[in-house]
């Protein structure tokens, strides 16, 4: 009889512990993360960013900052824990000393101004940053780098980096094995989508190349020295449009969101 009583107590304890663990897990997975997007509305392509961010274990509140007053956008950034610089039109060439090439660009000066302000504030806050396609380009420009204005014209022997129909162009990339990108993805090569006619030309002094194509176009870069800086993922491809199981998509998302969670925790500690 005593044996069965002990067994009953142990079983009750086990199920109580299991219930507590389930509740903790549920609370963790239902945690909402506030992440701002430099532009997250306007087309199906822009909506994909939020869909991708919400494909993880976390619920993400995506906050679009495009087409609102700059001061309001900065205020929303300061209340958030992550910044995604999304793809889009060309950065004005005057921003990197090639004003004579304006005719070859599709420009949105309002967005340029917004994103330069966001980058400056994000770096000041040391908030995690995910820079994608145009986002990767403008981040480099904001730190003093420059861009290739038009790959087909300036590099006629280059690979095809943009097709008339989006999501139909792909190419191989090589990844440096001494990079954070390699640690995250576990691969030193892969196939990514491509949809751009511009790319990084001169890399800013504080950055290093960690991925490139067979024609040596820069596909990803990182900080040379990460000390006291925002966590940064900067890629030329669109991870939000890749196969969900591709490590060049899902692994980047997981790590970025982990860094967002860490940032939020630190922010709450400071505020106490």
pLDDT, residue 195, reads 85
Arithmetic mean of pLDDT, 206-235: 97
pLDDT digits (tens, 9 = 90+) for 43-67: 999 999 999 999 988 999 999 999 9
User: What DSSP letter does each residue of 9-33 carry, written as one string?
Assistant: HHHHHHHHHHHHHHHHHHHHHT-EE
- Whether 4 and 96 map to the same domain: the answer is no
Among 174, 217, 172, residue whose Cα is nearest residue 199: 217
Which among 184, 166, 186 has a CA at the least distance from the CA of 240?
166
- Shortest CA distance to 55 belongs to which of 262, 256, 191? 256
User: Do 9 and 132 fall within a single domain?
Assistant: no
The answer to whether residues 95 and 220 belong to one domain is yes
Instruction: Check 50, 115, 238, 264 and give the catalytic one.
Output: 238
Mean pLDDT, the chain, rounded, equals 89
Q: Which domain holds residue 15?
A: 1-30
Active site residue 106: no
CA angle 161, 134, 261 (to 5 degrees): 120
Do 15 and 59 sit in the same domain of this protein? no
Do 141 and 251 fall within a single domain? yes
170, 201: one domain: yes
Q: How many CB atoms lie within 10 A of CB 86?
A: 25
CATH number of the domain at 187, please: 3.40.50.880
Percent helix, strand, coil in the chain (nearest 5)? 45, 20, 35
Catalytic residue from among 62, 92, 133, 264: 133
Q: How far is residue 203 CA from its own chain's centroid?
A: 18
Q: How many domains does the chain have?
A: 2
Which of 115, 222, 240, 264 is catalytic? The answer is 240
Q: Does 238 lie in the same domain as 114?
A: yes
Has residue 5 got a pLDDT over 80? no
pLDDT at 15: 46
Closest CA to 194 of 230, 227, 218: 218
**Number of other residues whose CB lies within 10 A of the CB of residue 129:** 24
Paired tokens of 8: 């009953």
d(CA 156, CA 43): 31
Mean pLDDT of 207-227: 96
> How far is the C-alpha of 222 from the C-alpha of 114, rounded, in Å?
23
Q: Are residue 133 and residue 26 in the same domain, yes or no?
A: no
Are 6 and 48 within one domain?
no
Told to judge if 163 belongs to the known catalytic residues of this protein, a careful annotator would answer no
Q: Which residue reads 């960013």 in tokens?
A: 49
Q: Is there a catalytic annotation at residue 197?
A: no
Q: What is the pLDDT of residue 3?
A: 47
Cβ distance 77 to 83 under 8 Å? yes
Burial 216-252 (b: 16+ CB within 10 A, else e): ebbbbbbbeeeeeebbbbbbbbbbbbbeeebbbbbbb
Rounded Cα distance between 235 and 193, Å, is 11
38 and 169 in a single domain? The answer is yes
List the structure tokens of 58: 């976390």
* Residue 165 CB neighbour total at 10 angstroms: 7
What is the reported pLDDT for 1?
Answer: 52
The pLDDT tens digits of the residues spanning 170-199 come to 899 999 999 999 999 999 999 999 888 999
How far apart CA 230 and CA 218 sit, in angstroms, is: 21
The pLDDT tens digits for 79-125 are: 999 999 999 999 999 999 998 888 888 999 999 999 999 999 999 99
% of the chain beyond a pLDDT of 70: 88
The answer to whether 33 and 61 have CB atoms below 8 angstroms apart is: yes
Residue 249 token pair = 């998509």
26 and 46 part of one domain:
no
Same domain, 69 and 173: yes
């Amino acid at each position: 009889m005593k044996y069965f009583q002990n067994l009953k107590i142990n079983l009750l304890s086990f199920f109580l512990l299991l219930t507590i663990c389930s509740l903790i897990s549920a609370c963790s997975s239902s945690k909402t993360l506030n992440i701002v997007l430099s532009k997250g509305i306007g087309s199906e392509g822009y909506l994909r960013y939020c869909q991708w961010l919400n494909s993880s274990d976390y619920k993400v509140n995506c906050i679009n900052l495009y087409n609102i007053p700059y001061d309001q956008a900065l205020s929303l950034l300061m209340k958030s824990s992550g910044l995604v610089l999304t793809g889009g039109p060309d950065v004005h060439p005057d921003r990197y000393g090639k004003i004579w090439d304006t005719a070859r660009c599709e420009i949105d000066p309002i967005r340029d101004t917004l994103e330069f302000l966001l980058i400056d504030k994000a770096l000041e806050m040391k908030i995690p940053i995910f820079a994608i396609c145009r986002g990767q380009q403008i981040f480099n420009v904001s730190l003093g780098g420059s861009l290739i204005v038009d790959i087909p014209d300036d590099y006629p022997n280059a690979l095809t980096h943009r097709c008339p129909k989006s999501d139909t162009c792909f190419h191989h990339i090589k990844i440096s094995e001494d990079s954070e990108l390699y640690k995250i993805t576990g691969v030193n090569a892969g196939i990514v989508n491509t949809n751009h006619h511009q790319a990084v030309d001169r890399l800013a002094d504080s950055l290093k190349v960690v991925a490139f194509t067979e024609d040596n176009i820069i596909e990803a870069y990182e900080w040379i020295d990460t000390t006291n800086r925002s966590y940064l993922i900067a890629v030329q491809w669109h991870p939000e449009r890749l196969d969900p199981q591709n490590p060049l998509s899902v692994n980047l998302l997981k790590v970025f969101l982990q860094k967002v969670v860490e940032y939020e925790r630190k922010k709450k500690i400071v505020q106490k």
